[in-house]
Structure 1
Amino acid sequence: MACEHCTQGYIVPGQPQGKMVNGAYLHPAPQGSITKSRAIVIFTDIFGLPLKNCKLIADALSSRVGCDVWVPDLFEGKPPFTTDELVPILPDTGKPDDRMGLLRKLRLILLGLSRALRLYRARPAVVDARAIAFLKGIRKERMYETVGAVGYCFGGALAIRLGSGNVLDSIVVCHPTHRSLSTIQAINIPTSWVCAESDTSFTKDLRDESERIFAARKDKPEYVDYEFKDYRGTVHGFAARPNIAISGLLEAYQGALQQAGAWFDKTL
């Protein structure tokens, strides 16, 4: 089941400038880029490739970092939710302390039940294998030396799971739909965390415990570079589907992009 904010959000203005390559979106490294040896992969939220926001993020990161940025189709053309269902179930007032009433909870449950088969087809065992195959494929074909991934919501959980699989060199995790501390503890590559002020999936308690896990490795062989950044006045989904009409959310969205770009500049 998706969390209460997973099926809400907004379409960011702009037109993608990249191209489709074998079913994936690619924004190539800008002309004049110093190196072609690194790449970034975007793991989308539950709306997948049809929501153009992920492509615009790819364009921005490619220009910012100066490398190829890919967006694979995690759902093989059938994301669990469509862009037509992007209308918020929750009132998007920009207040992190807003809570969903009984009627909206029922609407969310009914929406999830109506997408049960597609959600089953997007279970970790299936999506992880699909993502790993994609990563291995572009490494071999494009001869990348380092590959990083930034994941949003559903894709954030995927980035966490692959953070210990020897297929990535660095990750950025944005408000993940994830609740397993053991998987977070297994991460063994540099990790940057983009955290919402209010998140019913990646809660404050889970966020704080995750940071303690990374901090406890200091001066130990298993230490990896990490950072946690919190964005006030935001909820789950802001880095992927912000309502830019609300004061402060455009700045938070852009801040998350800058954070990801700076992290990959540092770690790839």
Structure 2
Amino acid sequence: MSCNNCKAGFAWDGKPTGSDKSTLAGLPTYVSGESKDVGILLCAEVRKAREKGEDFYDIFGWKLNNARLLADHFAKELKATVYVPDFYEGEIVDPNMFSDPEKMKSFDLGEWTERHNRVKRWPAVEACAKELRAKYSKLGAIGYCWGGWAVFQLSGESLVDAISTAHPAMFNEKDVDSVKTPIQLLAPEEDMTFTPELKKYCLENLPKTGVPWEYIYFEGHKHGFASRGDPSTDHGRAGFERAKRSAVNFFTEFLH
């Protein structure tokens, strides 16, 4: 997979209000919120150095401030408990790569992707979902970039009640055909992972699944906008704020 925007972006200011002292299925996990009824698994973004300590996340991992701030927003606005597990065995990509061209250039996304491919990471994703499934009456999952394939598969395995994904990566047509829950797609105009061909396939084939679905197009935005958009520009801020609001509205409808 070649995607320069997978490595680019902006770190957001703000102090997370949740806790990273918990574990989920044995994985270190950031948790925000206190709901006993609705859970959200955030699948997202990796510092090169290995450290020993759900939206799923992008390649920057469970410790990225952006992912934790998103979790806090979802917890508060959805009245849910949000979980952001460490799916990468302690490997964290240095957030300073955002502003350091040399670090960005030296990071090998292909090698990282092979270390954390679908086959290797699905057992951990599945275990987290099963543990939450037993705990909450309603469970959603949101995935950014890397987390896109994960939420598709969770839906296909009927392990969650609804999924949302922004600029998803590593998924395929079979994943689209196997969706069994309400799904929301947050699609930027420019995206090397959510290609025009995959967008077209989703639009043509999601109606055939029989599940409620929503496709929201973000003109002028690129891969990573929803989790690493530039808060210093009106365009960047408007994009990630609209993506967050859209996900909140979607989950409010299908989880409450």
Query: Same fold per TM (> 0.5)?
Result: yes
Aligned CA distance change for structure 1 residues 2 and 16 (closer, same or farther; 3 Å) = farther
Partner of residue 122, structure 1: 116
Q: Distance in 2 between matches of 1:192 and 1:157?
A: 13
Percent of paired sites with the same residue: 26
- What one-letter code is carried by the residue in structure 2 that aligns with 1:48? G
Partner of residue 85, structure 1: 97
Answer yes or no: is 1:52 the counterpart of 2:65: yes
Answer yes or no: is 1:173 the counterpart of 2:165: yes
Partner SS, residue 136 of structure 2: coil
Cα offset, 1:88, TM superposition: 7.2
Answer yes or no: is 1:26 the counterpart of 2:31: yes
Q: CA RMSD in A?
A: 2.0
Greater Cα shift, 53-62 or 244-253? 244-253
Q: Distance in 2 between matches of 1:87 and 1:207?
A: 30
Answer yes or no: is 1:37 the counterpart of 2:42: no
Runs of 4+ in 1 over 3 A off after TM superposition: none
Please tell me whether the aligned partners of residues 154 and 176 of structure 1 are also in contact (alpha carbons under 8 angstroms).
Answer: yes
Q: Distance in 2 between matches of 1:67 and 1:111?
A: 35
Q: Distance in 2 between matches of 1:119 and 1:224?
A: 30
Please tell me whether the aligned partners of residues 128 and 162 of structure 1 are also in contact (alpha carbons under 8 angstroms).
Answer: no
Partner of residue 129, structure 2: 135
Cα offset, 1:208, TM superposition: 2.0
Please tell me whether the aligned partners of residues 185 and 214 of structure 2 are also in contact (alpha carbons under 8 angstroms).
Answer: yes
Query: C-alpha deviations, 1:169-226, integer Å up to 9, x for none?
Result: 11001111135111211111100000101111112232122111012x2xxxx40000
Question: Which of these residues, 185, 194, 207, is aligned with residue 199 of structure 2?
Answer: 207
Q: Distance in 2 between matches of 1:149 and 1:179?
A: 15
- What one-letter code is carried by the residue in structure 2 that aligns with 1:53? N
Q: Distance in 1 between matches of 2:37 and 2:188?
A: 32
Answer yes or no: is 1:229 the counterpart of 2:216: yes
Query: C-alpha deviations, 1:34-78, integer Å up to 9, x for none?
Result: x62111110000111121110000000111111111111111211
Bigger fraction of residues in helix: 2
Partner of residue 188, structure 2: 196
Cα offset, 1:2, TM superposition: 5.0
Partner SS, residue 120 of structure 1: helix
> What are the ranges of 5 or more consecutive residues in structure 2 without an aligned counterpart?
43-55
Q: Distance in 1 between matches of 2:171 and 2:73?
A: 29
Report which of the two structures shows the higher radius of gyration computed on alpha carbons: 1
Query: C-alpha deviations, 1:67-114, integer Å up to 9, x for none?
Result: 1111111112114x321322376xxxxxxxxxxxxxx9xx75x5327x
Q: Distance in 1 between matches of 2:238 and 2:188?
A: 13
Please tell me whether the aligned partners of residues 39 and 132 of structure 2 are also in contact (alpha carbons under 8 angstroms).
Answer: no
Question: Which of these residues, 78, 83, 94, is aligned with residue 65 of structure 1?
Answer: 78
Question: Which of these residues, 243, 247, 253, is aligned with residue 240 of structure 2?
Answer: 253
Aligned CA distance change for structure 1 residues 86 and 157 (closer, same or farther; 3 Å) = farther
Please tell me whether the aligned partners of residues 192 and 263 of structure 1 are also in contact (alpha carbons under 8 angstroms).
Answer: yes
Q: Distance in 2 between matches of 1:10 and 1:191?
A: 27
Cα offset, 1:254, TM superposition: 0.6
Query: C-alpha deviations, 1:136-176, integer Å up to 9, x for none?
Result: 12333xx2012100100111122122220121111001111
- What one-letter code is carried by the residue in structure 2 that aligns with 1:185? D
Cα offset, 1:121, TM superposition: 2.5
> What are the ranges of 5 or more consecutive residues in structure 1 without an aligned counterpart?
30-34, 90-103
Q: Distance in 1 between matches of 2:254 and 2:173?
A: 24
